Structure 1
Amino acid sequence: MTAALLLLADGRFPAGGHAHSHGLEAMVASGRVRDLDAVERVLIGRLRTAGLMTAAFAVAARDGDPDRLDAELDARTASPALRTASRRQGRALLRAARVIWPDAPWVRLPAQPHQPIVLGFAAAAAGLTDDRTALAAVHGVATATASAALRLLGLDPFAVQALLIRLAPELDALAAEAVKGDLARGAAPLTDLSAELHATWEVRLFAS
């Protein structure tokens, strides 16, 4: 464990993740997610799909071709709304990372990079190893989803934190899987559909 990992994974890091629910707001509004048990199922599903993919691409971006990886990630994200959300978060993370690590090769990134691609570059600039990069990625997916659920459902924050602690072994296992280099990951159609529905709303709490 390093201080850089803790700081990069901290929810207070100014990367804009708090503004996104990634379709969860629509799931709550539809009644599909009502309580902590449902949140746990959503969390596990997101971790095994979006979490694993985010981590795998972040690790690959440390040494790979960012343009190719960005295009591959775009192709693997079926929902236009989620593609837009990822690029918005990428821009927010890039703004912060450029100030914190000004000497990193940010010019290699595409003009509007996906968040996992920027995360890989930021992790490399912070001196994180592949496994810690992957852990930061899956941690970010888990805590962002949990935080959105907390705000949307008014859940007991202690119970939500206990849920995250219970899922810690799952995060460790997914991070270990992500460093193996397999970028072909599972899809989450309900999340895609929920994100597309959410994008049509005029009034909403979250940007996605």
Structure 2
Amino acid sequence: MSRAALLVLADGRFPAGGHAHSGGAEAAVRAGRIRDARDLAAFCRGRLHTTGLTSAALAAAAAGGLDPLELDEAADARTPSAALRATGRRLGRQLMRAARATWPSRELDALAAARPRGAHQPVVLGLTARSAGLAPEDAAHCAAYETISGPATAAVRLLSLDPFDATAVLARLAPELDRVAERAALAAGEGIDALPAASAPLLDIMAETHAAWPVRLFAS
């Protein structure tokens, strides 16, 4: 197992398309729910324990060898917003392109062939981690981190927030992220039926609203 591979996969510069998405932060900023670093911390914490937990468990399950097609269906069932389902598949398709170029594997090829329009991003992420020789908990950490790093990075652009303050938010959430990743990996080890289905209805509502905007800075 290579820890360096985890750094590559979690790096915001990995060409997986995440830079074009705000993780709901753009809609939250417009609604006045994120105005400063304190609001950003609360938003990221809520996202970590809902969407983050669910995504981390799906990624860990895929990294652990569970059927990616069944996991893709499980991801669909855990994503009530049509806009977020579409976003998840777009991100999954982009990640798949980067993953197959970086860590080629038959498993990635098989999933790409079965889901030509894209599988859900956490499932692809977990399978990518598996192809890179990483463990399920590594995949869970990566998925959980992405759910908060995206909004934090977007907030810098949307609010002209000091990047030091945004990074401090991520650093202070690190202990909670560790616990979420551990919980997700444990659930993944118990099978698909044990995967968390934590949700955030307000994120779903804001995603549907954001998708209808004629002009926006981020794709989601």
TM-score calculated relative to the size of structure 2: 0.91
Whichever residue aligns with residue 25 of structure 2, its letter is: L
Query: CA separation in 1, counterparts of 2:24 and 2:141?
Result: 23
Measured after TM superposition, the shift of residue 36 of structure 1 is 1.1
Partner SS for 1:176: helix
- Equivalent positions of 1:121-200 (< 5 A) are 121-181=127-187, 182-200=194-212
Per-residue CA deviation, residues 105-156 of structure 1 (Å, 9 max, x unaligned), is: 2233141200011001100011111111111111111211211111111111
Query: CA separation in 1, counterparts of 2:169 and 2:42?
Result: 11
Query: CA separation in 2, counterparts of 1:8 and 1:107?
Result: 18
Q: What residue is the counterpart of 1:73 in the other structure?
A: 75
Query: CA separation in 2, counterparts of 1:30 and 1:139?
Result: 24
Moved over 4 A (4+): none
- Equivalent positions of 1:11-30 (< 5 A) are 11-30=12-31
Whichever residue aligns with residue 81 of structure 1, its letter is: A
Query: CA separation in 2, counterparts of 1:102 and 1:180?
Result: 27
Partner SS for 1:102: coil
Query: CA separation in 1, counterparts of 2:48 and 2:156?
Result: 17
Query: CA separation in 2, counterparts of 1:144 and 1:104?
Result: 29
Measured after TM superposition, the shift of residue 61 of structure 1 is 1.2
Query: CA separation in 1, counterparts of 2:99 and 2:88?
Result: 16
Q: What residue is the counterpart of 1:105 in the other structure?
A: 107
Partner SS for 1:146: helix
Query: CA separation in 2, counterparts of 1:156 and 1:201?
Result: 27
Instruction: Confirm whether residue 57 of structure 1 aligns to residue 63 of structure 2.
Output: no
Measured after TM superposition, the shift of residue 184 of structure 1 is 2.5
- Larger mean CA deviation between 79-88 and 26-35 belongs to 26-35
Per-residue CA deviation, residues 22-67 of structure 1 (Å, 9 max, x unaligned), is: 3221111121221111111110000001111111001111211111
Whichever residue aligns with residue 84 of structure 1, its letter is: A
5+ unaligned residues in a row in structure 1: which ranges? Answer: none
5+ unaligned residues in a row in structure 2: which ranges? Answer: 188-193
Count of aligned positions? 208
Aligned counterpart in structure 1 of residue 213 of structure 2, from 184, 201, 205: 201
TM-score calculated relative to the size of structure 1: 0.96
